[in-house]
Amino acid sequence: MKTFTIMTALAGLALSVPAYAGGDAVAAKAKVSMCMGCHGIPLYHTVYPEVYKVPKIAGQSPEYIVKALQGYQTGERSHASMTGIARGLTGADMADLAAYYGKAK
């Protein structure tokens, strides 16, 4: 029973570590093409699913980027394009993208 308690505590500790911790900005360079089409164009507006201004993500905090991607993945946030992209991302992908865009200007 003690082993279970220790394992449970360790699992809880692992879950409390932010998902962006250890993100690899260099590895993200191979993953950013899906982001650049919209977020890489200054002052870009798109019409899908409706007309809206695409937010700048370069320089955003890594914490915000991960939480936003997780929100799209779980359905907490709603946007057709972002939901489709986020659902294909792993935790490591999100961490890498957050590290990359967190350092970008």
Taken in order of first residue, the domains within the chain and their CATH numbers are 19-103 (1.10.760.10)
Question: Running DSSP on this structure, what letter comes out for residue 88?
Answer: T
For residue range 75-98, what is the model confidence (pLDDT) as tens digits?
999 998 999 999 999 999 999 999
Per the CB < 8 A criterion, the answer to whether 18 and 69 are in contact is no
Please determine, for residue 69, whether its predicted confidence score (pLDDT) is greater than 60.
yes
Q: What is the pLDDT of residue 20?
A: 53
Tens digits of residue pLDDT in 15-64: 333 445 579 999 999 999 999 989 998 889 888 778 889 999 999 999 99
